[in-house]
Structure 1
Amino acid sequence: MNRMTAYRIGLVLFLALLGLFALPAGPASAHAALVRTSPVQGTVTQDAPNEIVITFTERVTPVRDKIHVTGPDGKQIGQGTITMSNADLHIPVRTNVPRGTFLVSYRVISADNHPVGAGFTYSVGAPSATGPNPGDASSGRTDRAVAIGVSTARFISFAGLILVAGPVLVLTALWPRRLSRRAPTRLAYAGLGLIGLSAALDLVLQAPYQNGGSLASISAGGVSTILAGTYGRVQLARLVAAVLAGVLLPPFLAGRSGKPMQVLLALVGVVGVATWPLSGHAPDSNAPVLTVIADAAHVTSVAVWLGGLVMLVGFLLRRADDKELDAILPVWSNWDALAVTVLVLAGTAQGLIEVVTLKALLTTTYGTLLLWKIGLLGAVLAVAAVSRQLVRRKAQGVPRLKRTVLAEVIGAVLILGLASALVQTAPARTAAADAPAPATDRGIFSTTLNSKLYQLQLDIERTTGSNYEVHLYAYTPVGAPLTVQQWKVTAALPAKGIEPIDVPTLRINDSHASASATLPSPGIWQFNFTLRISDFDEATVSTAFTAT
């Protein structure tokens, strides 16, 4: 394999990974967790409430046209103005309503700017024989094209920062005088362009991303609304920083800038880097100042590390002669070691803040992604250690170093993809809080049923007499929320000759459904749950439940 072939393969791998990480695995995860509802989910009240109260783990911003309370007759019963009080969402509703089951669906924006959508049911007087028309119960859905655009914007923002950091550092301290600076300078400008493009793309897509709209819903008014918020101002600051850097970089890279301009460029760089933690989870953590600092250090170390690798693979190992490499590689090796050390320390601090418990690490999507990232980082660090050994043992020559550095770059791109996925994923501290409480804490029957296609979390709670509320939560075999196309529930009492009875089900969101079961006779009932997850895939799981 010649050199150009290797670089082309590397480019193809990079673009393929870009496409891979731009594709969301499913609906956006909620970053504000539901704490409780009033009325309590699945309960039966004798009197109709005059408001619905939904409490979250943090203050949220309601998307008012995506919040609905639907009665058993399919009519909306909301009235008045939806308000927030601390972390409580208040939805005023009419009290002159029919008896039966009501569906509450909502979409809100969490403090870290991610949409949260779901729903729950309650009943007045008695559960309905059939549930209400869900109407807009899909409040939690995010348009796929919008989600892809947002994920792509996040990825190219990281890529742009790396493409700026590498050329700036190498041209400043390590670039041989005899070599032209044109190509690395263009690379830095390309990085600034990607940063600016990502900020602009994020600003344009945020309104439909938050509101659940499509690309067709993009408007100047939506962008204006986003700019009025903290997230919009942070993205605008990043865009301005990219423009200012584009003005200040040419004389700096050419070695013609004075001290004042260098200080100004450094300040622009600090502000620009700070926009990454400020637009993510960091400000909403349990220790915001520490998390912002750790996140900024993490982003900077990644940019220095990967940017240096890009310059090494793309330029120095190809153009510098042996004498120049003898001077460059030891310095680069020290940079590499320092950046990786900061990366590990900052990542550890972030992990302790965002994960909190071992259970959260092992049972949440965020924890799973973090474990993959740690594993990949360990492998890349091993390759980096080999590279540093080769630098120290100059007799090994450059060819083997090229291969190890290329492997390091590929592994680092994978880590970058996981990092962009983590930004899109609910932190383990809130994802764990959003998990259903154990049966012993809620006084209900709760179990998890497994098939090759899915895991089904099942909660059964008596409401009145022989009436029971059944809640179904579908997950993939590895624990991520699973989109279900069709739910079917039956209940039978073989000991008394009662054949399977169809239990009416109501879809709450993609991975959650509820059912109202009437079990007229005590005994051990056999519940069967059939979930169809595609046109060709479905599976049935069963459990026994004792009705008293």
Structure 2
Amino acid sequence: MATGTAHRTPARPTTRKALLLALVTVLAGLSAALFATPAYAHATVVSTTPQANATVDTQPVEITVVFSEPVSPVAAQTWVVAPDGSRANSGDAVVRGNTLAYPLRAGLPNGTYLVGYRVISADGHPVPGGFTFSIGEPSASPPTAASLTGPDVDPTVDVLVQVNRGLAILGLALAIGPTLLLMTRWPAPRKGVLKLTATGLSTVAATAVIGLYLQAPYTTGSKLFAVSGEDVAAVVDSRFGQAMLLRLFAVLAGLPLLLLSLRRSPRKGDKWLLAVLGLALVVSWPLGGHATTSPVPPLTVVTDTVHVGAGAIWLGGLVALAVFLLRPALSDEAAEFMPVWSKWAFRLVAALAVAGVAQALIEISEPAALWETTYGRLVIAKAALFALLIGIASIARNALRGREPTEGLSGAENALLRRTMTVEIVLALAVVCVTAVLVQTTPARVAYADQQRSEAQPFSQRLSTKYYQLQVEVTPGEVGPNSLHLYAFAPDGTELDVLEWKATAALPSASLPPVAIELLELSPNHVTGEITLPSAGDWEFSFTLRVSKLDQATVTQSISIR
């Protein structure tokens, strides 16, 4: 027995050094891969060919959708539907850089086509959508992109993902907050805090495994149990999956070392190794979320790491103090340790505030995005809860101000601290809930830019009179040059030959009188024209069609130009 011990004891420093070196290598590799990759956010559509709602005279060879970043398509939900309901694409869509391309079958009929897609952006969030275009002329009853039915994400999966992420943050708090207390001058019995730490690490590991599975139906849009092994494998191979694997590695490496080192007096090498493992654990949050997709990933990964780490230490420390230290039998120990915790808490709060402001400045590009996007409103809610939390914490801090550490806490002081810490914990849990929703929400800078872009869309609508139906298409529907296409149909939906066409555009709000649009006939029921719209606003378009020697009618349509 003595001989075995003699052989094992010298090996421990070597083992710790090897583990530390391996972990640093993993972190360095992940960082290199991360920062060598361009920064992205939720993918948004930049352009499509053909344009949405456009009509082309001849069939294109392929359809392309250009995104703001490289994407991964979900093949089963990326397709083109012909006017008769059949598949128009000849094979699966392929990705070329930022472009998603659909090869089309030859000999497609005229009519309106529906293009659908579901892609996974760089930060692991699904982006579904679609648009229509027409070959030759629009169908009598054209489909719309709104006919892409079904929720973006199954509601059950969406709720479970958010709950799982909230539990993961709570587990992190219970793992690293009590650990920091135990590695310093913790005056109370250690057994209960050790169990709390082990519970936190186990929760982090369990939520990482569950998160890997839930990400599959979340990204594919399928039901909770309607995923394949290929779907899960794709998640493991993604940026999100790599972050979860790093989290699991940190837990599996840290748990036995933590239990070993905390059952005896911790050594300096143990502290350093636990610190690196703790950093690996915390950094897995920004690596698997929005931080890696900001305009400045190195900065946001650092600020997010500080934000998550400081918050987790604060919440975990509060729980350990409230449950295990603030007891009448430990009033002397509490009186000695609470001033130390008060100083730590002040620094943690300062780190939280600075990192939070830095994140907000990056993720919320414009002031209007703060109240006009879901992300911005969640940030406001989180800031309000944080401010309330600071106010409650100041009560406890003031109660300790000016007292001697050698004085034990009175019963009234102990009760006050327990009450204030309980409220702090409740508010901190509310912040965790808001954060769990926030990390699932499109960043404000992306959502606001998308919102601004969506306000300038091609216009497509069918107008009716007793003599005809008129399909009106204005592209791109924004200030500057625009193309106008007009298609005439009889009241029963068949093509209608038009004897004479007239079109004008006016902007009454700017006192711009009607301007005639020169029209070019492409077929008896189809004309086109070009017009430059110099100002944004609600333009009034007027169309007059003569369909016989005696029958003609005028229709007017207001079109918003951005």
TM > 0.5 between the two? yes
Residue in structure 1 matched with residue 87 of structure 2 by the alignment: 76
Tell whether 2:84 aligns with 1:38: no
**Which has the higher mean CA deviation after the structures are superposed, 146-155 or 189-198?**
146-155
Do the aligned partners of residues 42 and 96 (structure 1) sit closer, same or farther apart at CA in structure 2, a change above 3 Å counting? same
Partner Cα distance (2:449, 2:167) in 1: 31
Contact 2:131-2:144 within 8 A present in 1 as well: no
Partner Cα distance (1:75, 1:98) in 2: 11
Match of 1:97 among 89, 108, 111: 108
Residue in structure 1 matched with residue 427 of structure 2 by the alignment: 411
Partner Cα distance (1:429, 1:217) in 2: 33
Q: Deviations over 1:388-436 (max 9, x none)?
A: 1112155872322222222211111111111111110001121122225
Tell whether 2:122 aligns with 1:116: no
Q: Deviations over 1:93-152 (max 9, x none)?
A: 224212111111100000001111011111122221213498993476222222222222
Q: Percent identity?
A: 36
Aligned positions of 1:354-433 closer than 5 A: 354-392=363-401, 397-433=413-449
Partner Cα distance (2:387, 2:307) in 1: 16
SS at match of 2:117: strand
Q: Which amino acid aligns with 1:423?
A: V
Aligned-pair CA distance for 1:331: 0.8
Q: Deviations over 1:297-331 (max 9, x none)?
A: 00110011111111122221125533222211111
Match of 2:220 among 208, 211, 221: 211
SS at match of 1:522: strand
Contact 1:33-1:431 within 8 A present in 2 as well: no
Aligned-pair CA distance for 1:154: 0.9
Partner Cα distance (2:225, 2:457) in 1: 44
Tell whether 2:317 aligns with 1:301: no
Contact 1:112-1:280 within 8 A present in 2 as well: yes
Residue in structure 2 matched with residue 130 of structure 1 by the alignment: 141
Tell whether 2:257 aligns with 1:241: no
**Which has the higher mean CA deviation after the structures are superposed, 102-111 or 248-257?**
248-257
Partner Cα distance (1:260, 1:170) in 2: 17
Contact 1:166-1:306 within 8 A present in 2 as well: yes
Residue in structure 2 matched with residue 465 of structure 1 by the alignment: 486
Aligned-pair CA distance for 1:243: 1.4
SS at match of 2:326: helix
Aligned positions of 1:156-175 closer than 5 A: 156-175=167-186
Aligned-pair CA distance for 1:357: 1.1
Contact 1:238-1:272 within 8 A present in 2 as well: yes
Tell whether 2:291 aligns with 1:282: yes
**Which has the higher mean CA deviation after the structures are superposed, 203-212 or 190-199?**
203-212
Partner Cα distance (2:268, 2:63) in 1: 60
Q: Which amino acid aligns with 2:306?
A: A
Do the aligned partners of residues 259 and 393 (structure 1) sit closer, same or farther apart at CA in structure 2, a change above 3 Å counting? closer
Partner Cα distance (2:228, 2:274) in 1: 34
Q: Which amino acid aligns with 1:230?
A: R
Residue in structure 1 matched with residue 324 of structure 2 by the alignment: 315
SS at match of 2:118: strand
Aligned-pair CA distance for 1:266: 2.1
TM-score, normalised with respect to structure 1: 0.74
Q: Which amino acid aligns with 1:200?
A: V
Q: Which amino acid aligns with 1:118?
A: G
Q: Deviations over 1:319-355 (max 9, x none)?
A: 5533222211111111111001000101111111111
Contact 1:42-1:463 within 8 A present in 2 as well: no
Do the aligned partners of residues 256 and 333 (structure 1) sit closer, same or farther apart at CA in structure 2, a change above 3 Å counting? closer
Q: Deviations over 1:254-275 (max 9, x none)?
A: 2344333333222211111111
Q: Which amino acid aligns with 2:164?
A: A
- Extract unaligned runs of 5+ from structure 2: 1-40, 404-409, 462-473, 478-482, 490-542, 546-552
Partner Cα distance (2:439, 2:165) in 1: 8
Partner Cα distance (1:267, 1:108) in 2: 35
Do the aligned partners of residues 92 and 436 (structure 1) sit closer, same or farther apart at CA in structure 2, a change above 3 Å counting? farther
Which of these two proteins has the greater Rg computed from alpha carbons?
A: 2
Partner Cα distance (1:175, 1:192) in 2: 20
Match of 2:554 among 522, 526, 543: 522
Aligned positions of 1:11-22 closer than 5 A: none
SS at match of 1:108: strand
Tell whether 2:107 aligns with 1:106: no
Q: Deviations over 1:465-499 (max 9, x none)?
A: 2679xxxxxxxxxxxxxxxxxxxxxxxxxxxxxxx
Give the number of equivalent residue pairs: 435
Partner Cα distance (2:118, 2:74) in 1: 6
RMSD: 2.8
Q: Which amino acid aligns with 2:554?
A: P
Contact 1:70-1:134 within 8 A present in 2 as well: no
Match of 2:268 among 242, 259, 268: 259
Contact 2:183-2:271 within 8 A present in 1 as well: no
Contact 1:35-1:434 within 8 A present in 2 as well: no
Partner Cα distance (1:432, 1:135) in 2: 21
**Which has the higher mean CA deviation after the structures are superposed, 341-350 or 353-362?**
353-362
TM-score, normalised with respect to structure 2: 0.72
**Which has the higher mean CA deviation after the structures are superposed, 78-87 or 133-142?**
133-142
SS at match of 1:54: strand
Do the aligned partners of residues 140 and 46 (structure 1) sit closer, same or farther apart at CA in structure 2, a change above 3 Å counting? farther
Contact 2:113-2:134 within 8 A present in 1 as well: yes
Tell whether 2:199 aligns with 1:190: yes
Aligned positions of 1:468-483 closer than 5 A: none
Aligned-pair CA distance for 1:284: 1.2
Match of 1:352 among 361, 370, 378: 361
SS at match of 1:155: helix
Q: Which amino acid aligns with 2:448?
A: A
Partner Cα distance (2:294, 2:329) in 1: 46
Q: Deviations over 1:31-62 (max 9, x none)?
A: 22222222111122222222111122211111
Q: Deviations over 1:200-255 (max 9, x none)?
A: 00112222221122222244443333222332122112112111111111122223
Partner Cα distance (2:245, 2:358) in 1: 28
SS at match of 1:390: helix
SS at match of 1:37: strand
Aligned-pair CA distance for 1:296: 0.4
Do the aligned partners of residues 399 and 189 (structure 1) sit closer, same or farther apart at CA in structure 2, a change above 3 Å counting? same
Match of 1:58 among 69, 72, 78: 69
Residue in structure 1 matched with residue 532 of structure 2 by the alignment: none
- Extract unaligned runs of 5+ from structure 1: 1-29, 447-458, 469-517, 526-543
Q: Deviations over 1:162-193 (max 9, x none)?
A: 011222122222422xx432211111111011
